[in-house]
Structure formats: C-alpha cells, structure tokens
Structure 1
Amino acid sequence: MNKDISADVVVIGAGVCGSLLATRLARTGRSVLLLESGPKIRRSDLVRRYRESAFKSDFMSPYPYSPQAPQPRYTPTPNDYLDQAGPHPFKAQYIRIFGGTTWHWAAQLWRNVPNDFRTQSLYGVGRDWPISYDDLEDYYYQAEVIAGVGGEPDNGSPRKQPFPMERVPASWLQQRVTERLAPEFRVIDDATGRNSRSYDGRPACCGNNNCMPICPIDAQYHGGIAAQQAEDSGVEVITEAVVYQLEHDRDGRITAANYYDWDKNRHRVTGRTFVLAANAIETPRLLLMSASEQFPEGLANRHDMVGRHLCDHPAIGVTFDADEPLWPGRGPVSPCSIGQFRDGEFRSEHAPFRIDISNGSKVASVTKELLKEGYFGRELEEQVRFRSARRLSIKNALEQLPDPENRVTLSDKRDDMGLPTPRLHWSVGAYEQKGTEQVRQYYDRIAEKLGATNVQHSKPGAFSNRQHITGTLSMGHDPATSVTDAWGRAHGHDNLFMVGTGVMPTVGTCNVTLTAMALALRTADRIVEETRHD
C-alpha cells in the first residue's frame, strides 16, 4: 500500500465538472490531485476507433470498455452493469475515462430558465433550489466562455452579456423547418459549445455531422479538453484509480480516499478537502460503499437521502417523411429546438418540455429499412436518396419530478474489482405522463404542417433516457431532505464537497451540463474562500 500521496484538494472524477474545479483551484496555488477510475486515451485514437468500428450506430464504439472500471453497455451485448429494479428501465449511459461522458455528446449547453429554481413555490410541484438563477448567472457566463457557447439570445434565459460564440450557420433543414412551422412553433438555435470560428486553438465546425460520438476535427468542447487543461495547470493526475472508500475522523471530516489501481493494489490518499465529481450514479455508489461504524448507512446519509430523487428526461420520439427534401445530415446533428413549452402555469398540471429537432443523417437507418422491404439495385439507390432526404426525427426533453422512490442503491452483484454494482429504481409518474400526452399532440401538429407521411411515434408507455442524470445528491438547506448544502458541501462532513449533475434538485427541460459546470465553478470559488488561510 502506498501511503505517501497527499494534496490540499483531492478530486475524484476527471469529467468536465471535476476538471474545471481542479483547474480553478490549481491556478490559486493549491496542490490538487485528480483521481480517475478510467484510462487516458488520445483523442486521435478515439477518432480512429470510431472510423474503424463495424457498427457506426454504436455511439460507444470509440470508448474502450474496461472491466476494472465498468460502465453500462447495451450494444452489441448488454453487460447488465446497472441492476434494473424497475418498474421502468433506466438505461443510463456514461463513460469512465479521462474527460468523462462529455466526450460523447452533441455539446448542448443550455441555461435553465429562472422559474426552474422555484417550481414548488410557483407551481406546487417539484423542489425549490437553495439558490436562484441570479446566483448562477455570472457562473453560467464563465462556463460559456470556457466552452465557447453560441445560441439564440432570446431563448427564455436572461443574459447580462451576449454569447461568446456566434452561431454555426443554419443548415437547410433548420431553415426550412423554421419557416414552415412559424408562427405556431418558434424554432430557435440550440445553445451549443460548437465553434463557428477558430476558438481556443480549435477549428470551426465544418459540418461533418459526426458530433456524436466524437467530432473528428475537435470543433466542439468536451470533457477531454477540460481534463487536459487541468493537467496542464499543474493538477497531478492519476488515472486507472478506482476509489472504493472514503475514511473519516470522529468529527465526520474526510481524512483519506482509498483506491485500487487496475492490478488491484491498494493506495491511500490524504488531503484537506475532498471533492466527489464522478457522476450522479457513481458518486452515490461511493458514498454508500464508504459506510462505517459511525455512519452505517454511508457517508452524507444520516437521513437516507443519498441516491434518492433520481431524475432524467424521459423522452418519446417521432419520425416521419416530410413532403419536401430537408437533407438531414449536413451540418451539426443537433442544431435547433422548440422551446416555448419550457415554462408556464401549466407546470402545476403537467410536465414542461423542450422539443429537439434532429439533423442527423438518416442514410443508414433508411437503408436498413429498405433492405428489409426487399429493395435492391438501382431502385434501392433511388429510394435511399428519396427517403433519407425527407426523413425527420424529433425527440423531447421532458421534466421529471424528483421522487424519493426513484433512487440509486447498491446491488448484490460485484464487478471485477469486487465492488457492488449500482441498483436503480425508476418510474415515470402521472405528471410526466400528462406532459407526454401534450408532446404527442404537438408532434402530430408539426407533422401535419410539414405534410408528413409515414408518421411513426415511439411505443406508448416506453421512454428513452436522455442521459441527463440528476437529483441523487440534491442540494438544499435542510439535511433531512437533501445531501449537500447550497455550495455542494455534504451535510455532516465539513470538508467533503460534491459537483456534477447529481447536486441539481430538479432536472428542468434542457441538457444539464452547463448548469453543472456553473455550479462546479461556484463550488471551487467557495473552497478557495474557505481555505484562503489554511
């Protein structure tokens, strides 16, 4: 066992939030150690792995699977790492790698709308945050500058300064859909960390339509950039370090983190301040695994709140063929949305939502469809061109209310390191179901306005996950109903902080990464202030 590793701040998890926090702390002169359970892989190797993969529809194909640091896999064969306790499956997908899950995304970086922080007070549903939109506004902007975010200025989230990035020019699909749906539906630019010009040493988007699973030219921001910047700022990085237990003293202060390297040698790391930045599933897992005689239910869990209020955006979709060529597949995969249903008095009755309009290429899915129908030769080629030019896919991001019965616990199964795997309990309630009914009506109206044929709704009662996992480490003023305080500090453990999407009490209607980044920068500043004289 190595007992000689120590730092002022120990950060567990080298995703975008942990990396941003580590960078900010290191630049103040503090010694910072960043522990990551997964490997460090060069971006060029990830691009090559995807280019050479047999199944381009498998968006996890660039990212290596490591039995020592397992992650959920669903294709080609499910690995059942996440124990599904039902009643609905929660098919979360994340990456345990240096840089984290935002290697694999469409770089949507939206702000919440102000009322998202006060749903209980305003609408009698959900939970109020212990902070307001105004508390985060400046941190939102700081995160946007780091990532190079552009978007629609008037998108429901007030701004004191303009976006730091101009928008990527609208694709033909976006232009036509915007024109034809107006004025009933207002289509707006997504807020994205995607370059429209050279920015931070990276090139402008050239329209590869390969934002997911990895941009081939590095034109969009991701956690790999954040993690490398942390290391370049003087953060000591140890990868392939699987933290399995936190130690504490009799006052509840964290004294050490124990981890296995991939050969299962044990190591112990000491520090003054500890920050958990894994994700909203792996962080609760670590807290529960760190149970002790003093804290038999796990750390930060005196009131059995760790892992509860598991939320995502339970999504439904629709595909159809428009009556004109839209040519999806040219430009970014995720360019625009309909955002007019994100807030309103209706939130007291049913879930709000945002409607995402996809610009992803449909050639592969259409070809598969036509082969099943028996097409071949020149007729196949003609039909691929005809259908793929007109096929449109739409999906929603619908707010789920926090429910304490939706939660992360430990299963009876063990991974290759001998550690218990996560068990997920998740259901979609009446509030969300009512919102879904509204979404289907709007889908039909959108299809009608685009002269649609071959309208295919997703199966009733089935929901896909948007991978926007929140709630399991909810911040709040009352330790009886939350895990952390308004700064992300664990209740009952003065020197233990948490960052990431898990601390968000509600999920809202937009991709959650920008809010988590803003919260991480805010927590970093709090740690700096509190440890200024240490």
Structure 2
Amino acid sequence: MADALSADFVVVGSGIIGSLVARKLALAGASVIILEAGPRVTRGELVARFRNSPRRSDWMSPYPPAAWAPHPVYQPEPNNYLMQAGPYPYAAEYIRQVGGTTWHWAAHAWRNLPNDFRVKSLYDVGVDWPMTYEDLEPFYQEAEEIMGVSGAPNTGSPRKRPFPMEPVAEPYAMRRLRERLASDYQVVSNTTARNSRPYDGRPACCGNNSCQPICPIDAQYHGGLAAEAAEGAGARLLPNANVYKLEHEEKGRIAAALYYDPDKASHRVAGKTFIVAANGIESPRLLLVSASDKFPKGLANSSDMVGRNLMDHPSTSLTFDADEDVWLGRGPQSPSSINTMRDGAFRSQHSPYRLDFTNISRVDGATKSLIAAGIYGSELEKRLRFSAAREMNVKNVLEVLPDPEHRITLSSEKDAMGIPKPEAHYAIADYTRRGHERSQQDFRRIAELMGGTNLRFSKDGDFANNQHICGTLSMGSDPKTSVCDQWGRAHDHENLFLASTGVLPTSATCNSTENGLAVALRAVAHMLGQHNTSTAAGEAKT
C-alpha cells in the first residue's frame, strides 16, 4: 500500500454537492482532500465526444465509464453494472468522473415547497423531515448564488431575497403554450442553474439546445465548475481514486479511506472527518462494502436502513401534434412547466406532480422513426418537416414515497476492480400510479387547448426514470429508522458525514440536486464545529 495522505476533511466524491462542501470547508481554512473514482475530463473533450457520437440521442454517449470506475450504461447494450432485482427495473444513469452527473443535467434548481417537509403531519404519508423550510431557506439562497440560478418569482416557494437572475429568454413554443393554456393553467419558467446574463465569468445561454448531454459554453452550471471552485479554494482533488473501503477505529470513528488507482494499487488517506458525497447508489454501496467484524451490516447501518427508501421521480408522457408550427429546439431543452399539482389535500390519496414541457428538437427522433417505418424521399422530407414544426411533448414528474423495501444492496457479482456491484430493488407503488392516472386528465386538456391530434401516450405502466436518485441514506431524528441526523452526521460514527441527495427523506416533486446541496451547505458549520471540538479535545490531551 502506498504512503498515506491526510487532511482535516476527506471527501469521497467530486460531484456538485461534494465539491461545493469541500469548497466551503477550504474557504474556512480547513485542509481538504477530495477522492474521485473517475477521471478528469475537460468540457472541450466532452463537446467533441458529443459532436462525434453516432448516438446523438444517447445523452450518456459522451461519458463512457472508465474500467476502474464503472457506471451504468444501457446503450447500445446494457453493461449490467447496476444489477436489477425487480420487480420493476430501475435504470439509473449517472457519471463517475470529476464533477459527477451534473455535467449533463437539465439544471433544474427548484426548492421544495414548505409543505413538502411535513407530509406525514399534513397528509399522513411518507415521513416528516427533521428540519423545516425556514431552516433551509438561507442555504437554498446560498446554493442559488453559487450556481447562478435564474427563475421567475411564482415558484410556490417563499423567498427572502430574489433570484440571482431573471429567467432565460422564453422560447417561442413555450410562449405559445403559456398563451393558449392560460384559461386552464399557469405555465411558468423553470428555475434553472443557467445564466440569462453573464454571471461569475460565464456567458449567457445562447440556445444551443444541448443542455443534456453538455452545455458547450458553460452557461449552465455543473459539477466540473464546482470541482474547479473547490480546488481554487485550496482543496486537493485526486482523480482516478476509487474508494473501496472506509477503515474505522475500535470505538467506531472513521480513520481512513482506502482507494484503488487504475492499476489497482491500494492507497490510504487518513483524516479527522470523513464526508461520503457520492450519489444515492454509490454512497450506500461504499458503506455496505466497508462492513467489518464490529459493523457486520456495514458502516452507519445499525438501523439496517443504509440503501433503503430508494426514491426517484418516475414520469409518463404524452406526445401530440399541435395545430400550428411551434418549432421546438431553440433555447433550453426543459424551459417551462405547470406546478399547480405539486401540493394539496389530494396528497393523502395520490402522488403530487409537476408537468414539464420539453423543448428538445424533434428532428433526430422524428428522422429515426420515419426511416424505421420505411419512409424515404419527398415523403420523408414532408413528414419530417411537419413533425419538427408541430410535435410537442409533456410529461409528469411524480413523487415516490419512501419504502424500506425499495433499496440498494450489494450484488454477488463484482466489477472489474473486484468490488461488489450495486443491486436495485424497486417498484412503482399504487400511490404513484394513482398520480399518473390523475395526470392523464391534464395531458388530454393540454392537447385539446393546443389543437392536438395524433395523441401518443406513453405505454401504460411504462415509467421513464428521471435520474433523481434519493432516499438511500435518509436523515431523521430517530437512529432506529434513519441513517444520519439533520446535519448528515451518521448516527453510528461521530466523524462520518453524508452529503448526498441520498439523505433526503422524501422526494417531493422537484429535482433533487438543489435540495441535497442546500442540506449539505447547511451542515458545513456543524461539520466545522465538530472538527474544532475534536481538535481542541486532542490538543487538551497533549
């Protein structure tokens, strides 16, 4: 084993949450080492990969996994890294490289609604959070100012200060939706970490319409920028450092992180405080593979809750042809939505949801469909032009309630580094299915108001995954039913913190990144307090 490194804080994972926590710790004067399993890749390399990819609609194609840091791949063939135990497949996609998965996100940066923190008390479903919206509000603002969030005031979440920026210019298709649906629905601009004007040295969005898989000009914030900010603040980032075990002392304090380099040489990094900041799949996997004689079920797992309560935001959708040309494909890919069903007394009976409109160019998808149907020549040109001009799509974004049986466990199969693969146990509950059924009324009315014809509903029972992984490290006040407290500190280990969307105890209806980031930024002061107390105690002993 190579000589050990050490730091005040050792952060496992360089995604947007881990990197911005590391940045905040480093700015406070602490020494920080970030360990990232995957390689460092530049924006230029990713843009070139996207431009040259034969699978332009496969948003993961610019992000092939490294052999020493595999992640799930489903096209052109599944790589079977995330094993499936059913009964419903959970085809999660994420990226293991410096900066993590937000390299190719839609940049939605919604806050939860105040009632989302009290669904058990209000609606007798799910669980209450161990904090309130008011507790988190300053840290939502902090996250938004770091990322450069643009948004409209009518989000449903109260604010003490305005957004850093006004929304990005409204695409023509979204304007027509807003105008024609106004009798029944309020269509609002999505809240996104995307510049509507130059901000923090980055340009304004210029409408490339490739937000997923890559913003070619960095108008959109992402984890690569967060990792750069962490290094700029003084953190040391080690790429290609696949942590395979957390080592603990006799009393349960974490002593070191062990990682493999690409040649499978083992290295040891010591620290005073450890922060597991991988996603809601890789984080529980690490805790489970770190089992020992003292902790036979894995670290932080005396409650047997590590990996449990896996949640996401499944979607069903409607595609239709409008009665006018709208020409999707200019501006952000996901610019507008309807939010009237995010909260209400109905939550005691069925899932709430957002309705999200796509602005993704229809050319690629329509071309493939027409060619597959044997359409060529002048008829292809005619029908392609019609689809590109008039095809529209709306999807729901449904809440999933926490269920201990929906979980991530360790597979009996191992990856190329000899580490057990993660295995998903997942299902779509009736609560979520009833939300889907209710949303069909909205789908039909939206199509009617747009003069829609040729309505194509997603296949009944077929739920698309939104890659909003949360719940597998749930925070709570009771150590018997949760993994960590409201600060992300593991109940079982005084110097182990979890900074991930995995700590979110419920999923609500909005993308998980800003919520996970705000929770983590709130916890930093507590991390520093724990660190300072420990340091003072050590100095007193000497």
For the 8 Å contact 2:316–2:395, the answer to whether it is kept is yes
Partner of 2:269, secondary structure, is strand
Shift of 1:371: 2.1
Shift of 1:448: 1.2
Shift of 1:355: 0.6
Amino acid at match of 2:301: N
Amino acid at match of 2:261: D
Q: How far does the alpha carbon of each residue in 1:444-495 deviate from its partner, in whole angstroms, 9 at most, with x for none?
A: 1111111111111111111111000111000000011000001000011000
Shift of 1:62: 1.2
> Counterparts of 2:481 and 2:288 in 1: how far apart (Å)?
17
Structure 1 match to 2:374: 374
Q: How far does the alpha carbon of each residue in 1:56-97 deviate from its partner, in whole angstroms, 9 at most, with x for none?
A: 011011113212110000001110111100000000000000
> Counterparts of 1:387 and 1:469 in 2: how far apart (Å)?
33
Work out whether 1:456 is the aligned partner of 2:491: no
1:296-335 aligned within 5 A: 296-335=296-335
Structure 2 match to 1:486: 486
1:136-215 aligned within 5 A: 136-215=136-215
> Counterparts of 1:512 and 1:257 in 2: how far apart (Å)?
27
Shift of 1:301: 0.6
Shift of 1:519: 1.1
Shift of 1:530: 2.6
> Counterparts of 1:311 and 1:120 in 2: how far apart (Å)?
17
> Counterparts of 1:252 and 1:532 in 2: how far apart (Å)?
19
Amino acid at match of 2:217: I
Structure 2 match to 1:400: 400
Structure 1 match to 2:540: none
Q: How far does the alpha carbon of each residue in 1:415-461 deviate from its partner, in whole angstroms, 9 at most, with x for none?
A: 00001000110011111111110011211111111111111111111
Work out whether 1:259 is the aligned partner of 2:262: no
Partner of 1:506, secondary structure, is coil
Structure 2 match to 1:364: 364
Partner of 1:446, secondary structure, is helix
Q: How far does the alpha carbon of each residue in 1:247-281 deviate from its partner, in whole angstroms, 9 at most, with x for none?
A: 11122110111111110001111100000001100
Structure 2 match to 1:281: 281
Structure 2 match to 1:117: 117
Amino acid at match of 1:232: G
Structure 2 match to 1:413: 413
Amino acid at match of 2:92: A
Shift of 1:168: 0.7
Structure 1 match to 2:504: 504
> Counterparts of 1:261 and 1:277 in 2: how far apart (Å)?
19
Shift of 1:31: 0.6
> Counterparts of 1:371 and 1:48 in 2: how far apart (Å)?
27
Structure 2 match to 1:42: 42
> Counterparts of 1:484 and 1:201 in 2: how far apart (Å)?
37
Partner of 1:532, secondary structure, is helix
> Counterparts of 1:56 and 1:171 in 2: how far apart (Å)?
22
Please list every run of 5 or more consecutive structure 2 residues that lacks an aligned counterpart in the other structure.
536-542
> Counterparts of 1:242 and 1:155 in 2: how far apart (Å)?
39
* Cα root mean square deviation, aligned: 0.9
> Counterparts of 1:436 and 1:276 in 2: how far apart (Å)?
34
Normalised by the length of structure 2, the TM-score is 0.97
Shift of 1:386: 1.5
Partner of 1:210, secondary structure, is coil
> Counterparts of 1:310 and 1:469 in 2: how far apart (Å)?
7
Amino acid at match of 1:342: R
> Counterparts of 1:236 and 1:385 in 2: how far apart (Å)?
51
1:127-142 aligned within 5 A: 127-142=127-142
Shift of 1:3: 3.2
Identical amino acids, percent of aligned pairs: 57
Q: How far does the alpha carbon of each residue in 1:203-244 deviate from its partner, in whole angstroms, 9 at most, with x for none?
A: 111111111100111110000000111111111111111111
Structure 1 match to 2:385: 385
Structure 1 match to 2:339: 339
Amino acid at match of 2:98: F
Amino acid at match of 1:158: P
Partner of 1:431, secondary structure, is helix
> Counterparts of 1:396 and 1:303 in 2: how far apart (Å)?
34
> Counterparts of 1:32 and 1:47 in 2: how far apart (Å)?
30
For the 8 Å contact 2:272–2:531, the answer to whether it is kept is no
> Counterparts of 1:301 and 1:241 in 2: how far apart (Å)?
24
Partner of 2:230, secondary structure, is helix
Structure 1 segments (4+ residues) deviating >4 Å: none
> Counterparts of 2:197 and 2:532 in 1: how far apart (Å)?
38
Shift of 1:374: 3.4
> Counterparts of 1:119 and 1:337 in 2: how far apart (Å)?
23
Partner of 1:229, secondary structure, is helix
Structure 2 match to 1:81: 81
Shift of 1:314: 1.4
1:99-114 aligned within 5 A: 99-114=99-114
Shift of 1:517: 1.0
Structure 2 match to 1:225: 225
Partner of 1:74, secondary structure, is coil
Shift of 1:375: 2.8
Greater shift after overlay, 31-40 or 459-468? Answer: 459-468
> Counterparts of 1:80 and 1:426 in 2: how far apart (Å)?
16
For the 8 Å contact 2:152–2:166, the answer to whether it is kept is no
> Counterparts of 1:294 and 1:306 in 2: how far apart (Å)?
16
Partner of 2:4, secondary structure, is strand
Q: How far does the alpha carbon of each residue in 1:262-307 deviate from its partner, in whole angstroms, 9 at most, with x for none?
A: 1000111110000000110000000000101110000111121000
Amino acid at match of 1:381: E
> Counterparts of 1:295 and 1:354 in 2: how far apart (Å)?
41
Greater shift after overlay, 172-181 or 62-71? Answer: 62-71
Amino acid at match of 1:255: A
> Counterparts of 2:237 and 2:93 in 1: how far apart (Å)?
24
Amino acid at match of 1:15: G
Amino acid at match of 2:477: H
> Counterparts of 1:121 and 1:406 in 2: how far apart (Å)?
23
Partner of 1:143, secondary structure, is helix
